[in-house]
Amino acid sequence: MNEYLAGLTTEGINPVTSMIDELPTEQMLALINQEDATVPAAVAAELPHIAKAVEALHGVLSSGGRMFYIGAGTSGRLGVLDASECPPTFGTDPELVQGYIAGGDIALRVAVEGCEDDGDEGRALIDRIGVTNKDAVIGISASGSAAYVIEGLRRAGELGAVTICVANNKETKLAKVSQIEIAPVVGPEVIAGSTRLKSGTAQKLVLNMLTTGVMVKLGKTYNNLMVDMKASNKKLYDRAVRMVKLTTGADQNAAEKALQDASMDCKLAIMMIKSGLQADAASKVLTDCGGSLKKAIRVCNQVT
């Protein structure tokens, strides 16, 4: 028996759900829901560490660096998911936030067992994707024992990158190669060892906080609106028109015209209406203000 693995809370047997296979369907689901309800508190206990990670990631991205997620299995899929949602949500370049999973993209759909144990491939990945001392790497592993993630994070640290881990056990092997440890401990799973359940939910909440927190600090929102997006489909176009109208008081026709003049860039359209500037001039002010719409509007108001 591997004593390290046997001692992990994520490998424990949950006494509350020991007879789950004998319960009526609704009671079984109520029990799962009851266990899920404990996850937010575990994440809340890690807020100081999550805040530290957001500050570090903001420093990296605002200085021209990138952030990378690496993981295996459920953890890897969640990292790839979070990274892939940044461009449509916040208008980021796909290179800014990237996600990688042990076994490659095929592992997003089909379980590729054994890849999480390949530490050499984890190190090779970091070199292959060109991590430097300007970047940050977040390793995700419920057990904190996946060699692929551990060695990948170790290599990132050797290169001078900021290293962060997200695990569901404290003081793991992964934490030892990380500068910042985020470890929401959710206890034994409803089905013993099935870390796609509470552990995966906790990881998703943490990753949501990391990217959302960083993007807000980078000026990707205006108040709580996702203004830094391209109106690239019908739903997003409708949302963009509503946001332009809401933030500027413009009517439907004026909002649509501003979006057309801004090449469907919602933030730029708002800036044009708020400042009275044409697209090129409004874009320059936004750039000079680091992309912050609120700051750019204030600058224009001071000038006028």
Q: Has residue 1 got a pLDDT over 50?
A: no
Q: Is 26 a catalytic residue?
A: no
Query: Mean of the pLDDT values across residues 51-56?
Result: 98
Token pair listed for 130: 């060109």
Please give the average per-residue pLDDT across 165-190, as a whole number. 97
Q: Over range 283-297, report the average pLDDT.
A: 92
Structural contact between residues 204 and 196, judged by C-beta atoms closer than 8 angstroms? no
β-pair type (136-140, 67-71):
parallel
How high is the mean pLDDT of the chain?
94
3 in active site: no
Q: Are 138 and 66 in contact (CB under 8 A)?
A: no
Q: Which of 11, 46, 116, 181 is catalytic?
A: 116
Contact indicator for 198, 70 with CB cutoff of 8 Å = no
Task: Return the percentage of the chain with pLDDT > 90, whole number.
Answer: 89
Render pLDDT for 98-155 as a digit per residue (tens, 0 to 9): 999 999 999 999 988 889 999 999 999 999 999 999 999 999 999 999 999 999 999 9
Residues 6 or more apart whose Cβ sits within 8 Å of residue 153: 70, 122, 137, 139, 163, 165, 174, 177, 178
Q: Is 229's pLDDT higher than 90?
A: no
Stretch 276-298: mean pLDDT: 93
Count Cβ atoms within 10 A of the Cβ of residue 72 and give its class: 0-12 exposed, 13-18 middle, 19 or more buried.
buried
3-state secondary structure of 163: strand
Question: Quick check: 304 pLDDT over 60?
Answer: no
pLDDT of residue 198: 97
Among 214, 140, 130, which Cα is nearest to 180's? 140
- DSSP-assigned beta bridge partners for residue 181: 165
- Best CA proximity match to 213, nearest among 95, 53, 97, 65: 53
What phi and psi, each to the nearest 5 degrees, are found at residue 232? -95, -5
pLDDT value of position 252 = 96
Average pLDDT (191-206) is: 96
Q: Which of 169, 170, 143, 166 lies closest to 153, judged by CA?
A: 166
Ordered by where they begin, the domains of the chain are 3-217 (3.40.50.10490), 234-303 (1.10.8.1080)
